[in-house]
């Protein structure tokens, strides 16, 4: 085949054949298609879309570019969760131990943060000694001994996606829903999980800003999972305000431990339990309720074993910032808005996130929110505490918070429900 013919076909609004898709993905992975040619094809896909059959085949081709994991050696069914990313989204940390404590195995492959959205691996690496990179054999050992593992995807998993993702990032084609969906689902299907629950965030702090685009992405991913025989459910969840009270790395780990200890912010607990019930139902596991796993300490036991199994010390002190800056309420009234995007960018500028994949992060940097939308505050009361290792970062962080919150004397916040919709 010829790359130009494939590009022209999609450029002119045509439907790519299975052979064209198989060839294009394989040839690009091998280096037989030039970067500029795949960039042109990605732009044509962005502009003209793909049919359900095309997306399913594209996903399959990316899966076939690498290894496919399987967990038949385990004595329990597997289930996993993927979040499209948000501000304060530490749900994976308490969720995996809760689900494991209820009888399922959770092989959770996670990523790092980029821009204003945090990464699960960055959060966990704030725990002294914890390591994200495990071999397949080590993953299996941790799953056998604890029931849950959270780690980085190996280089052999969907290498075509890794290469294409990097290209999309610099060619203005990240927003293509078929390419987003196939990127996420190729890795999750190759991961070998038996069931998958998708947490598709909606709002200012999410990649998908509107319910319509989020629903389109969710439906596309559920269709891919269905077409590949993977039981898949998606929840649309609100990301117009930060999730929980902590935004950053070590501060989010501390909040997750609070949840596992039976406390923590109500929204984090609610979403953790909602997703846990969906994961267990999708895996066909019934019996213990996830709420009981938090109450009786069994989820905390799994967490401690899981962290230890990956080299971490669950009792070690977490990094703390050298500098703190408190933002106080300028007036009394009701906090009607706390914009997730503004808070996320502020945390990023404090050092909690990265602008490029190779950038380091500060584990201690982040933000603590002292009030949530709907809370009544008084003038001078702390609203936010900014944490950083370098006080020079505060000025830029404060710029991103300018206009990110509103206080009205008798205001009523327009809060969306935490779970907006369910797609299966």
Query: How many secondary structure helices (H) and strands (E) does the chain include?
Result: 16, 13
Catalytic annotation present for 187: yes
Of these residues, 80, 89, 161, 339, which one is catalytic? 161
Which tokens sit at 101?
């404590």
First-last CA distance in the chain: 37
Of these residues, 81, 90, 116, 187, which one is catalytic? 187
Of these residues, 183, 204, 298, 400, which one is catalytic? 183
Give the single-character DSSP code of 351: I
Of these residues, 57, 112, 116, 168, which one is catalytic? 168
Give dist(CA 37, CA 240) in Å, integer.
Answer: 38
Whether the Cβ atoms of residue 404 and residue 335 lie closer than 8 Å to each other: no
Strand ranges, E, within 173-286: 195-202, 231-238, 246-248
Give the CA radius of gyration of the chain.
22
Catalytic annotation present for 183: yes
Which tokens sit at 365?
């940097």
Catalytic annotation present for 161: yes
Look-up of token digits 């008084």 = 378
| Helix segments in 87-237, DSSP class H | 92-101, 120-124, 136-146, 159-169, 177-191, 211-227
Name the strands in the sheet holding 333-338, side by side, starting at the edge strand that comes first in the sequence: 376-377, 333-338, 405-408
Of these residues, 10, 57, 81, 82, which one is catalytic? 82
Residues annotated as catalytic (active site), given as ranges? 82, 161, 168, 183, 187
């Amino acid at each position: 085949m010829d790359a130009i013919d494939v590009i022209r076909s999609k450029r002119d609004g045509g439907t790519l054949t299975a052979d064209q898709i198989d060839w294009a993905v394989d040839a690009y992975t091998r280096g037989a298609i030039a970067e500029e040619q795949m960039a042109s094809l990605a732009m044509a896909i962005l502009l003209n879309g793909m049919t359900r059959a095309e997306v399913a085949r594209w996903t399959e081709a990316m899966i076939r570019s690498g290894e496919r994991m399987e967990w038949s050696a385990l004595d329990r069914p597997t289930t996993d969760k993927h979040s499209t990313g948000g501000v304060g989204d530490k749900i994976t940390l308490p969720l995996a131990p809760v689900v494991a404590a209820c009888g399922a195995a959770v092989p959770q492959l996670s990523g790092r943060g980029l821009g204003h959205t945090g990464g699960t691996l960055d959060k966990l690496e704030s725990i002294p000694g914890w390591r994200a990179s495990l071999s397949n054999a080590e993953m299996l050992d941790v799953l056998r001994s604890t029931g849950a593992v959270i780690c980085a995807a190996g280089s052999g998993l969907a290498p075509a996606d890794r290469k294409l993702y990097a290209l999309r990032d610099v060619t203005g084609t990240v927003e293509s829903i078929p390419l987003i969906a196939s990127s996420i689902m190729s890795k999750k299907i190759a991961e070998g999980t038996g069931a998958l629950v998708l947490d598709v965030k909606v709002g200012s702090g999410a990649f998908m800003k509107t319910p319509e685009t989020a629903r389109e992405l969710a439906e596309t991913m559920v269709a891919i999972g269905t077409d590949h025989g993977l039981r898949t459910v998606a929840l649309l969840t609100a990301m117009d305000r930060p999730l929980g009270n902590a935004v950053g790395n070590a501060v989010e780990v501390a909040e997750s431990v609070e949840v596992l200890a039976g406390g923590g912010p109500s929204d984090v607990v609610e979403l953790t339990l909602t997703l846990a019930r969906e994961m267990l139902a999708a895996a066909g596991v019934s019996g213990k309720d996830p709420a009981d796993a938090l109450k009786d300490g069994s989820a905390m036991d799994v967490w401690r074993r899981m962290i230890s199994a990956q080299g971490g010390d669950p009792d070690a002190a977490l990094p703390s910032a050298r500098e703190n800056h408190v933002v106080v309420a300028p007036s009394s009234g009701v906090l009607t808005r706390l914009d997730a995007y503004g808070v996320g960018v502020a945390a990023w500028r404090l050092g909690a996130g990265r602008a490029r994949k190779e950038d380091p992060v500060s584990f201690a940097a982040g933000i603590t929110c002292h009030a949530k939308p709907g809370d009544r505050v008084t003038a001078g009361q702390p609203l936010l505490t900014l944490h950083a290792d370098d006080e020079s970062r505060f000025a830029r962080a404060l710029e991103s918070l300018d206009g990110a919150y509103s206080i009205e004397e008798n205001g009523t916040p327009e809060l969306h429900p935490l779970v907006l919709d369910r797609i299966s």
